[in-house]
Amino acid sequence: MIKRITSFTSLLAIASASFAADLSGLITNLNSDNYKERQSARLELRQVLLDTPATERGASEAQLLENIGPGKPFATRDWSIRVLALIGDEASVAPLAALLNDPDAHIADCARRALAANSSPKATEALVAALKQDAQIAYLDALAYRGDPAAVPAIGVVLSNGSPEMAAQAALALGKIGGADASAALLSKYSKADAALKTSIELALLDHGNISSDAARVLATTASSGVVRVAAYEQQTVLDASGAMDTLQIVLKDESFPEGESMVRVAIGSPIAGDAIALLPSMSEVDQTVVLAAIADLNLTQYEDAVLALLQSPSASVKQSAIRTLGVIGTIKSYEPLYALYLKNSSDAVVSEALSRLNVPSADAALLSAAKDKSHPAAQVAGFQLLELRNTDGVTAVANELAQPGNDEDVRKAAFKAMESIGDGESIRTLLNIIVTQDSMMRAAQGSLKKLSDNVGGAQYQWTEYYLPALQSAPSDDARKGVLAILDGISCEPVAQYLQQLIATDSPLRGDAIKSLSRWSDLPAAQVWISLYNSDGVSDADKTAALRGLKRVFSKDDITGDSRAKVEFAVELIQGASTVELKDAIVSGYEGRKIDRTTAREVKRLFKPLATDPDVGPRVKKLL
């Protein structure tokens, strides 16, 4: 066993000797003329020393120190000092301190940086001693980087006696070091400082949260910067609750207090929130509004009672703020008073919005019950409208139910209105049935159905699934007229073909079909109008209707379809037109109005061949 230990020790000695030799070679190559060799030595030296345990770096540190003096090449000195910044300890302090006055400014700066990173407390002493030199800012930065409280007294001297520039830097250095001594040094100078230095001290006191309760109190009430006041007050609420409440009282008594509103808001989101809320009834209207907004933003549901109390405020603005806040934080406790306000004035947008946002599932059940209670029509309407605003599950089914005949007229109107935005396929069927049965509320149903169909989209699907079956099952042609009147709401080719068939077969509904088609502004209508215009034995009245319909189609850009296809069809019709009046009707659709950019581009591109047309050429040139 003893032999094994001896052998292992021998191996270590050999390895150390080998390492020392390798390190010496690397140091020599730091000044090599070969760039790759020099760079390789730098990187390898750095990595080797970082990989060496700290307890075994002594010999390496000594070797590096032998190569930093004035007699060595610059490259060797520079990199040796840089590596000492990574591994140096107390042994490096004195040699590095001796270089702070080196004739080479770069070497002196490297030495300063190495001392700033040195782990020994003596490095602080060396940097403090150097504060008397000209480059004070650099040494203040180095001491700030170290963060050693032992440097506070010396930096405090610079703060008190240094030039304005040095004093400002000293303040910032103390802020980075932090601690009670640094805070005390800053505060002792604060009251006697000029405006510029005060700002530096304020920022220093707040740096990294290194602030005492006294400093927080002073800055919260006297700092020159509003931002600093608010930041200091935020820290005061954590450090000194009693003092923070005293500061809040000062703020509340002075409406002109700088950043007062922001400080009130800070209080509501801090540990003193409960005590601050207790002052709510006695606050000014402005402060009450600020507090209410903070309660809402922070979702402080525990203060619901305090907010409810402000519903009795004589101030309309405070009352509205309280309503908005309850919409965010309210529970079932807030539902009843808000609903009572809504019943008094259902057009009050603030109350409606608050009730729509209120996260109270049991309120939905109450509103559903109210919406179905036929004994109180006004409450029915109010309850249903709120269900719509709250987007409650099942509200569309309720709308479909309330729209049926037998319900109060106002209730049905509210249901129709709701269907426009929340309706489904069953809503479309319901409204169509009301129309074909010629219900007393048919006209209102027509208006709502057009809006609902526009929102739902998929015109061909709606036609196949809802509109056509309703027309086919209608008891009479008279009953179908109400549906024909709103077919422009689902304009598409199958609907156009249906209308064309009515027009071509002299149906009793022919006039209604022409009237319905006259409201269209897309291509399927143009095709029907051309067919009518060119039909055998067409009457003058039908020709006039066709020309008027064509002009409408080509004078509207806001259509469903492709602008290019529409312009292409216009060119095709003009080129094949059998009469001048037909050409006139089409060209006039583009005249005397502002054409959208896409259509204008297509007109300029596709209308060029028409510029030589003997009938409309001059007018086309103007369009181009």
- Model confidence pLDDT, tens digit, residues 423-452: 999 999 999 999 999 999 999 999 999 999
pLDDT given at position 209: 62
Buried b (16+ CB within 10 A) or exposed e, 478-515: ebbbbbbbbbbbbbbbebbebbbebbeeeeebeebbbe
Kindly tell me if the per-residue pLDDT of 555 is higher than 60: yes
| Least confident among 107-121, 208-222, 232-246 | 208-222
Instruction: Report which listed range, 171-185, 225-239, 338-352, 469-483, is most confident.
Output: 469-483
Please return the burial class of 533, using the count of CB atoms within 10 Å of its CB with bins 0-12, 13-18 and 19+: buried
The dihedrals phi and psi of 318, each to the nearest 5 degrees, come to: -65, -40
What confidence category does residue 13 fall into, taking pLDDT thresholds of 50, 70 and 90?
very low
d(CA 527, CA 450): 23
- Model confidence pLDDT, tens digit, residues 570-596: 888 888 888 999 888 888 888 888 888
- Model confidence pLDDT, tens digit, residues 276-316: 999 999 999 999 999 999 999 999 999 999 999 999 999 99
Q: What is the DSSP letter of 54?
A: G
Enumerate the H helices of 559-596 as residue ranges.
Answer: 563-576, 580-588
Q: Average of pLDDT values for 609-620?
A: 86
132 CB neighbour count, 10 Å cutoff: 11
Q: Angle at the Cα of 60 (from 57 to 65), degrees rounded to 5?
A: 120
Kindly tell me if the per-residue pLDDT of 2 is higher than 50: no
Kindly tell me if the per-residue pLDDT of 147 is higher than 60: yes
Q: Angle at the Cα of 604 (from 600 to 610), degrees rounded to 5?
A: 125
User: 381 with 414: CB under 8 angstroms?
Assistant: yes
- Return the structure tokens found at 166: 């040095």
User: 127 with 96: CB under 8 angstroms?
Assistant: no
What confidence category does residue 601 fall into, taking pLDDT thresholds of 50, 70 and 90?
confident
Q: Average of pLDDT values for 191-218?
A: 83
Kindly tell me if the per-residue pLDDT of 94 is higher than 50: yes
Q: Find the largest Cα–Cα distance for the chain.
A: 129
pLDDT given at position 292: 96
d(CA 283, CA 318): 11
Q: Average of pLDDT values for 88-96?
A: 95
Residue 503, amino acid: I
pLDDT given at position 492: 93
Q: Average of pLDDT values for 514-526?
A: 91
Distances (CA, A) of 259 to 137, 197, 248, 288, 488: 34, 21, 12, 15, 59
What confidence category does residue 15 fall into, taking pLDDT thresholds of 50, 70 and 90?
very low
Kindly tell me if the per-residue pLDDT of 531 is higher than 50: yes
What confidence category does residue 16 fall into, taking pLDDT thresholds of 50, 70 and 90?
very low
Please return the burial class of 542, using the count of CB atoms within 10 Å of its CB with bins 0-12, 13-18 and 19+: middle
Closest CA to 94 of 56, 120, 67: 120
- Model confidence pLDDT, tens digit, residues 463-484: 999 999 999 999 999 999 999 9
Name, in order, each residue with C-beta under 8 angstroms of 514's C-beta and a sequence gap of 6 or more. 503, 542, 545
Its sign, for the CA torsion 217, 219, 222, 228, is negative
Kindly tell me if the per-residue pLDDT of 206 is higher than 50: yes
Q: Three-state SS for 344?
A: helix
User: 521 with 557: CB under 8 angstroms?
Assistant: no
- Model confidence pLDDT, tens digit, residues 37-60: 999 999 999 999 899 898 888 889
Closest CA to 411 of 432, 388, 435, 429: 388
- Whether pTM > 0.85 for this model: the answer is no
Say which residue, 602 or 129, is predicted with more confidence.
Answer: 129
Mean per-residue pLDDT of the chain: 89
Kindly tell me if the per-residue pLDDT of 83 is higher than 60: yes
Residue 76, amino acid: T
Name, in order, each residue with C-beta under 8 angstroms of 62's C-beta and a sequence gap of 6 or more. 91
pLDDT given at position 22: 61
Q: What is the DSSP letter of 489?
A: G
Say which residue, 230 or 23, is predicted with more confidence.
Answer: 230
Inter-helix orientation angle 523-533/510-517, to 10°:
130
Q: Three-state SS for 118?
A: coil
pLDDT given at position 20: 45
d(CA 518, CA 526): 10
- Return the structure tokens found at 58: 């002594």
